Every structure is written in structure tokens, then in C-alpha cells.
Amino acid sequence: MTHDPSPNDDYVTVANYRRLLSRYEQLMAISRQLNSTLDLGALLRGIVNAATELTDTQEASILLVDPSTGELRFEAASNLTRAEMEAIPVPLVGSLAGWVVTHGEPVLVEDARSDARWFARVDKTTQFITRNLLAVPMNLHNKPIGVVEAINKQDDHSWTQEDVDTLSALADQAAIAVQNARLFQQSDFIAEMVHELRTPLAALKASAALLLRPTLPPHMRDDIVRTMQQETDRLNMLTTDFLDLARLESGRTRLHIDEFDIQDLIDDCVNVVASRAAERAIQISTSGRRYRVEADQGKIKQVLLNLLTNAIKYNVEGGTIDCVVQLSAEGACPAHCIQVSVRDSGVGISEEDQQHIFEKFFRVADTAIETTGTGLGLSIARHIIEAHGCEIRLESEPGAGTTFWFTLPLAEGAASHDKHPPGSAEFASDFNC
């Protein structure tokens, strides 16, 4: 029995064509946006948003292959916190995403829980229910560098071949954009690194030439040796900070999330910088309440030490530094957060300089000659805090001091909006340094 064409058939055909045309126009517009973005974090978030929009799904995620371990790691997800992404490496064997990377082919699963390749740990960790999903490879030069996943069709509508084709096209564009962003970061960073290394290297070269002079007086020889020691220390600091920042910007640094008392860590950091503060008669005080947080303790210690060291450097003789811990009313954290503030009584920062303070190698012009450092500390701090899914900011007024503050996620069960959260204790102490 044959089907005679009808006007309704023509209407369906035209409607499908218009819908398909609209989707590809949307895909082209998104691709242009992705290729004009060289910020890797913003790029990944844009891909996730585009994936949910183009496939009409609840959630989406991007997993990239870790070159050092071969594991898949969540780099962006609409339903995962940064801490959750860091805590869930996805194996190549025993996961749908791993199958996609290994075979280089898309996979469409209507019932995820009944598929033997489904990696259940993600849902168990996040209390999320994955019903169905589409995963496609991010191919670069015919080699998968990652996976884009679209999860749970809205209203449980059926997946279509258009969904597969559209998400595959987005993933291929995303792979190129990710590679371009990585290459830009690498080349930009190398250029900056070489420029910064030239100063201490030039000083070492000049010092070595002076030491070769047979008529050089002994007291000048001692001064030159001390200069060489200082420049060597500076080179060591630069290379350490370069490596830290390079790993953070490339995503190769993995957070080791643990639960700890933030005040214990603050006390430890204050003790570390106590001798420096004493040299300038600066008093450090801490106040607030005790909270347990979930974060990378080593990395947060690095942030605190940087902020405290800067507060000493740019303070006035006999000044003060206040470290305050409190609940955060709002912030970038998806869950309840605490806010840690480091406030100094120093010279302050102009409004213009505040716009650049977290940039690599930026130094406030008025104080750059008086202090030493690599100019990378605050940039590293920003990357560390943002890797936790949180934020770091500053408030300052010239002549009235500066406050740097950052947020951290509370440990599970520790969140409370009560004035006196259960299990917390008020603390206040002074370190007369």
C-alpha cells in the first residue's frame, strides 16, 4: 500500500527543514563565539552551555584526557561543583565516556543504568539521576582529546540523529577552540617568563664579570657574592611560581580535597610569617568562628601565606593585620561558604591598579621598587580559589589599607545560618609580632 503525498507531508518537511536550519545557524553562531575566546575556563563553560541549548537537555559536561595519567577528568559541568569534578577521575575502561575516547565514536544511551559501561560513581557522589545521555568525542587531528556529554532530554523527549550530528559538530569545533586556547596560554606564558628571567640573569652575568677582575677589592667581592645569592634566590622563586601557574592555567594541577578546620590553618600561616611581621612591629590578630571546610589544604595555605606576606610588605611600620572568618552571604560557591578576609593598615591600592592586581607580573608602580617578589602570587591565588569554584576579591582605598577576601565551601553538614553554628566556637587572638 502506497502513501499518497498530502499538503500535511509538505508542511512537516518544511517545518523539519526550518528547525534544522535554525539549529545549524545557532551552531555556527556558537562556534564563532568559541573561536574568539582564548580564556580556557570561559571557553569550557561556553561549550557546556551550548551543549544543553543545542540538544535541549537538562545537563552537560566536558571531560578531557589527562596527558600525564591517561584518565578522563571533568573540566566543566553544569551539575558538578569544582570539588566534585576534581574528586571524580573517570576511567577509560568501565565508563561510557572512556568507551567514546577509546573507540572515537559517539554513543547514545536511552537507559544509562542498564548499560554495563555506565560509570555509576558520578551519580552516587552528586545524588543526581542520569536517565539517558549522548556522549561524543572531541576529535583533534582524528584523535579524541576528550568527550562532550549531554544528559537527560527535557521532558524525556526522544533523541534524534540531528542531536548526534549537532553535538558532534559542536565537539569538533570545541576541540579546535580548546587547543587554540591552550597554545595561546602556552606561548603567552613563555614570552612573559623569558622576559622576567632576563633581569636576574643579566645581574648574574654582570656580577660574574666583575668577580673575574683581579683588582676587585675584597669588600666589593663580598657585596657581589651577596647580590648573586639574592638573584639566584629570585630565579628559584620565579621558576617555582612559573611551574605552579603553568600547571594551574593548563588544568594539570589536581586539587586534593580534604576536610579541615580553617582557623587551625590560619594560625599555622600566621606563625610562619610572625618573624617577618616582628621585624616591622606589625601586629596580627585573628577573629571569627571555627568552621570546617572542604578544600585543598596545601593550596589554601599557599593563598593565605601570599596574602599575609603581601599584607606585611605593603603595610606601614607598626601597622596591623586582621584575619577574619565569617559565613559568606553570597559568592561564587554553589553551596554554603565561609569568607576569609585579610585586612591590612597599609598604603592601599588605587582604583586603577585594582583592575590589574590579579594579572601575571603586575606590580603596583608606587611600591614596586621597595619590595621584592615574582609578581605571580596573586595570579596563582586567584587560580587556586577559582579552581575550588569560589572567588577572591579585594577592597582598598589609597592611604586606608587593603582587604583581600576569598570564599571556601563549608564541609558537608557544617553549613548553618544560625548565629552560633553547631560545633563551632568563637575565637579571637592577637599575635604581637
Write down the pLDDT at residue 14.
65
- How does DSSP classify residue 212? T
pLDDT 10s digits, 160-195:
888 898 899 888 888 888 887 777 766 666 766 776
Say whether 143 sits in a helix, a strand or coil.
Answer: strand
Q: What share of the chain is helix, strand, coil (3-state, %, to 5)?
A: 45, 20, 30
Say whether 145 sits in a helix, a strand or coil.
Answer: strand
Give the whole-angstrom CA distance, residue 277 versus residue 274. Answer: 5
What would the grid cell of residue 88 be?
571524580
If you search the block for the grid coordinates 545524588, which residue do you land on?
A: 127
User: What angle is formed at CA 348 by the lines to CA 39 and CA 281, rounded to 5 degrees?
Assistant: 120
Residues 148 and 47 sit within 8 Å (Cβ to Cβ):
yes
Write down the pLDDT at residue 332.
46
Give the whole-angstrom CA distance, residue 213 versus residue 39. Answer: 50
Give the whole-angstrom CA distance, residue 327 versus residue 318. Answer: 30
Write down the pLDDT at residue 421.
44
Write down the pLDDT at residue 105.
92
Greatest CA span in the chain, whole angstroms?
110
Residues 150 and 51 sit within 8 Å (Cβ to Cβ):
yes
Give the whole-angstrom CA distance, residue 384 versus residue 389. Answer: 9
Dihedral angle, C-alpha 368, 373, 379, 385, nearest 10 °: -130
Give the whole-angstrom CA distance, residue 243 versus residue 238. Answer: 9
Residues 363 and 375 sit within 8 Å (Cβ to Cβ):
yes
Give the whole-angstrom CA distance, residue 45 versus residue 432. Answer: 46
Q: What string of pLDDT tens digits covers the 433 residues of the chain?
A: 445 555 455 544 766 666 666 666 677 777 666 666 667 777 888 888 888 988 999 999 999 888 767 788 888 888 887 777 877 888 888 899 999 999 999 999 999 989 989 898 888 888 889 999 999 999 888 888 899 999 999 988 889 888 898 899 888 888 888 887 777 766 666 766 776 777 788 888 888 888 888 888 888 888 888 888 888 877 877 777 777 777 776 666 678 888 999 999 999 999 999 999 999 999 999 998 899 999 999 999 999 999 999 999 989 999 999 999 998 865 445 458 899 999 999 988 888 888 888 887 777 765 544 445 667 889 889 989 988 888 999 999 888 899 999 999 998 766 544 444 444 455 566 554 4
Determine how β-strand 292-296 pairs with β-strand 257-261: antiparallel
Write down the pLDDT at residue 345.
93
Give the whole-angstrom CA distance, residue 49 versus residue 37. Answer: 14
Say whether 197 sits in a helix, a strand or coil.
Answer: helix
What would the grid cell of residue 173 be?
569545533
Domain architecture of the chain: domains with CATH: 24-176 (3.30.450.40), 256-431 (3.30.565.10)
Helix residue ranges per DSSP H, 88-141: 96-103, 121-126
Write down the pLDDT at residue 87.
75
Write the DSSP string, 303-353. HHHHHHHHHHHTS-TT-EEEEEEEEESS-S-SS-EEEEEEEE-S----HHH
Give the whole-angstrom CA distance, residue 72 versus residue 95. Answer: 10
Give the whole-angstrom CA distance, residue 84 versus residue 103. Answer: 27
If you search the block for the grid coordinates 621585624, which residue do you land on?
A: 279
Q: Phi-psi category of 374—alpha, beta or left, where left has phi over 0 and alpha has psi -120 to 50? A: alpha
Residues 321 and 277 sit within 8 Å (Cβ to Cβ):
yes
Write the DSSP string, 31-89. HHHHHT---HHHHHHHHHHHHHHHHTEEEEEEEEE-TTT--EEEEEESS--HHHHHH-E
